A = this chain, B = another copy of it.
């Protein structure tokens, strides 16, 4: 298969609120008031977990189909902890992002434990978001041409 490219275009609505477009979909990102936002939407690090949950759902169903059992439903609980000290420039001891992420998948199905363990391992191994969180990904950042004032 050949590579697929995904993209978003975003603009700042305020210092903490962002209007993101992904294809024809609008995604609002904000921060709670204690992190400087207006609390109109989930915040960036919550969207990371939401992306992960969505990916695990897709992979969970795909792999169950490949393995030949029916997944009648799937609950996904994810949590992560981070220290906001680096974000705020108060300390550089801890990393900026999540130090660790915990996932609990609760499948509604009749598969036995051995089957489910194999399922879980395959889901995690082939899930794109899992890969991008657990492994390093090169990020290239550049400054675009600054708008000339009228």
Give me the interface of A with B, judged by CB distance under 8 Å. 1-12, 15-18, 20, 22-23, 25, 27, 29-32, 35-37, 41-55, 57-62, 65-66, 71, 73-91, 95-109, 116-117, 120, 124-147
The count of identical subunits is: 2
Contact A50 B53 (CB under 8 A): no
**A11 CB to nearest chain B CB (Å):** 5
Contact B18 A76 (CB under 8 A): yes
- Residue picked from A10, A91, A138, A143, most chain B C-beta under 10 Å: A10
Contact B10 A53 (CB under 8 A): yes
26 contacts between A and B (CB under 8 A): A1-B85, A3-B83, A3-B99, A4-B81, A4-B82, A6-B79, A7-B49, A12-B60, A16-B58, A22-B47, A30-B54, A36-B62, A37-B58, A44-B54, A87-B127, A96-B131, A97-B137, A101-B137, A102-B139, A105-B142, A105-B143, A105-B144, A116-B143, A120-B141, A133-B139, A134-B138
